[in-house]
Amino acid sequence: MANTCKQSEQASLAVSLVCRAQAGDSNAFDQLTNQYRPLLFALAFLRTSHQEEAEDLVQEVLTNAWQKLPTLVDTALFLPWLKTVMGNACNSWYRRARSRPASLNDDFARLLVAQQGLPLKTLMEQDRQRQLQQALLRLPEANRLALLSHIWGQASYEDIAAFTGVSASTVDGRIYRAKRQLRRLLYDGGAEFLGEEPRLWQSDSALNDLSPQRSKKMSSTKIAAVANISEQPRTLVLFTRRFSVMLDAGVSLLRALEILQEMPSPFGEAIRQLRARVERGDYLSQAMSDRPDLFPPAYIGMIRAGEVSHVLEETVQRLTKVLAREWNLANRHPSKEAPLFLLLPSGTGVPEKWEAMSAYQQTVTLSLFFETFGTLLQSGVPIVQAMNTVSDLLPQASQDGWTRAIRLVYPDGELFSPEMKRMGIFPDFAVEMILIGEKSGSLDAMMHRLAESFEDDLEYQMLQ
């Protein structure tokens, strides 16, 4: 009853303000504008999915409303009338947007060009805005409208209820659910947007299930307990090669996994499980993480990076080349170098400490790390997400240092090259190039240059 009375009082006040505004009282219209601007903005954002476009639409609607207000006959219908004006403006915007010749790819290309040369802090801010926009678009419309009105416009629950035609308690529930959804969708839990303390790495993406803690658990699995472990290297090479050929030919992921179920045991059964998981909506890398006896952490990390950057086909091709090289090395010089991706017949895995890795393992790790990092950035993946993704390519003992580097970047956009130097696994020349890339906004290019350098080093090592 109390809420009903309060809403009635607000409605009476709104009618009074509308009457005064119709008589030319600009102060009365300003009060109406302050009350309904956040709600109009939220409504415009629902349609445009773009903050600046929504702000322009709101200004356009309020200008038209002031000009056309004298034509409103029933002042009690001001709110429905205002929503109609906004709806018409959104329809006009949609028609204009559809008539634009530029494609989404053109827009994305322009965005990447515009980002070239920008310092790291500016890129970080753009990343945060893009991530927030994408997360907001995933919210149900009713929840998004309520949250945006409350957060961006500081509209009361009663105002939102009147605008949307529901009770204040319903608005409360919608905002509560929207906040919960955002906390799962954003790396910092939406802390800056919601005005809360940061909660790093709370994303609900299945890809983030491959945390460093999970990788540690995977790497410590008793590999020797798996049957036919001596067959793992040859079968993994064969699986990767066939998988690459089918993806390159345009075969869908599910169909390729279905065909590959004929692989020898234990791969056949494992691939059957992978396909079932992917069919249910899981990522391939997530499904592979349950079989560390067959797929080493570095292999899973590469697949994960390919999924994040939407270049899985190219990533599997790269894996095919690396595995073929390791297979040839293992057969020609079985005692010279321990592989990085292929499990040894003894069941010995890749060392968890950098200093325990061979020169070959270190060089391959650095080459793949920088090449993958560069590909992720070049594909438009936000820098923090890219850093989190490539962490699985580093040895377990080095991942704490890399996590500290990530925390330097997010949320303040600080340089992470000093932390890379302290980690002790990156050569000085690589750290210096990363520093140049951070300051010049050319991180992706520097990453690819470093990858080429370490690939050249690897070729030299193989000749010795």
What is the enclosing helix (H) or strand (E) of 235? helix 232-248
Check residue 190 and give its pLDDT. Answer: 64
> In the chain, where are the structural domains located?
1-100
| Length of the chain as a residue count | 464
d(CA 218, CA 300): 11
DSSP string, 73-138: S-GGGHHHHHHHHHHHHHHHHHHHHHH----HHHHHHHHHHHHTT--HHHHHHHHHHHHHHHHHHT
- The distance of Cα 150 from the centroid of its chain, to the nearest Å, equals 25
pLDDT, tens digit (0-9, with 9 covering 90-100), for 262-301? 888 788 899 999 999 988 888 899 899 888 878 888 888 8
pLDDT of residue 184: 65
Phi, psi of 453 (to 5 degrees): -65, -45
CA distance 400 to 398: 6
Q: Which of 420, 366, 415 is nearest to 393 (CA)?
A: 366
Local structure of 381: helix, strand or coil: coil
| pLDDT value of position 272 | 92
Task: Tell me which CATH code domain 1-100 carries.
Answer: 1.10.1740.10
DSSP state of 412: T
Q: How far is CA 241 from CA 129, 315, 320, 346, in A?
A: 39, 12, 6, 24
Residues of the chain with pLDDT under 70: 1-11, 49, 97-131, 153, 184-192, 196-232, 329-339, 342-350, 411, 461-464
Q: What is the pLDDT of residue 288?
A: 92
For every residue of 153-212, DSSP letters joined together read S---HHHHHHHHTS-HHHHHHHHHHHHHHHHHHSTTTTHHHHT----TT----GGGGS-H
Q: Whole-angstrom Cα distance, residue 15 to residue 454?
A: 72
- Residue 186: per-residue pLDDT: 66
pLDDT at residue 11 in the model: 61
CA–CA dist 315, 375 (Å, integer): 10
The number of CA neighbours under 13 Å toward the Cβ of 358 is 14
Is 411:187 a contact under the CB 8 Å cutoff?
Answer: no
Cβ 371 vs Cβ 389: under 8 Å: no
**Global confidence as pTM:** 0.53
